[in-house]
Structures are given as C-alpha cells and as structure tokens.
Amino acid sequence: MNSEPPPFGDPTNIQRENNAAIGKGVAVGCGGCLMIIASLAFFLVAIFGVVMLFLRSSEPCAETLRTAQSSPALQQALGEPMKMGWFFVGSVSTTNMSGSADISIPFSGPRGSVRIRTRALRQDRVWSYQEMSTQLPSGEAVDLLLTLP
C-alpha cells in the first residue's frame, strides 16, 4: 500500500478551495456589475426626479394646475380630488426676463385622466398663455384659457 500523499494535496480539500474561489469570484464579479448597474439606475432616476421637480415648480405648470382645479368641466369629467401626474412632456426655458414653455401635463381623477397642453411666452418676467387646452375622456375639447381671469 502506498502511503505517500497525493502530489498536489488532499483532493477533497482542493475541491473545497476551488468551489470557494469560484463562489467569491462570482460574488465579487457579478456583485460589482450589479453595483455599477444599480448606481447608474439610481443616478438616472435622481436626474429624472430633479427635472420633473423643476417642471412641476415652474410658473406655467403651477398656473395650469390652478386653472385645471378651478375648471368646472374638468371637475365634472375627472371628479375630485384631481391630481397632477409626474410624466410631463415638453420643455420650459427661461433666460433673464424672457422664456417659453410648451408642456403636456397629465391630470387624473377618480373618473378618468387627461393631458393638458400649455404653451406660454415670458416677457419682462410676465407669462402670457397662448394655449391651455385638453380633450376630455368623452371627446369634448376644453379651452382652459376661457376660465382664466
């Protein structure tokens, strides 16, 4: 009987060490990739949130919210409470005392949802609205500029 140890050590110990090394490699390799992907996703969501927060706090958006909430046609069509959504389409830009806005804002209530399109120009720090309109779920077009004071 040969009592010499195997040339590369105990085979069961080598197998255990190989499995541990593979497990660590997968955990570190995949974990590192997942960490990079998660960081990138968090960064993109943060940028999106900041942009949407900026749009929500703009004067054209605030005026659209006030006008929509005071519109009898929208109150009847959507119900109360009426909420402004987060997924805007369009842009708001201001430079010194002038600017422009062309945005489509989602609104919803218990009975339905609409998108309100607002177009406005800013001159000498005063916004003037060219369009603030929507189409109700019934198909009726509503010009919200008619409800502005």
Range of the domain at 70: 58-147
Q: Are residues 132 and 65 both part of a single domain? A: yes
125: left (phi over 0), alpha (psi -120 to 50) or beta: left
Q: Do 23 and 80 lie in a common domain?
A: no
**Please, which residues have CB within 8 angstroms of residue 113's CB and are 6 or more apart in sequence?**
78, 85, 106, 107, 137
Q: Are the C-beta atoms of 133 and 104 separated by less than 8 Å?
A: no
Claim to verify: residue 101 and residue 143 sit in the same structural domain: yes
Tally of structural domains, the chain: 2
- Closest by CA position to 103, among listed 79, 132, 83: 132
Of 42, 57, 72, the one marking the end of a domain is: 57
pLDDT in tens, 88-97: 888 888 888 8
pLDDT band at 21 (very low <50, low <70, confident <90, very high): low
Lowest mean pLDDT among 23-27, 67-71, 78-82, 105-109: 23-27
Q: Are residues 74 and 138 in the same domain?
A: yes
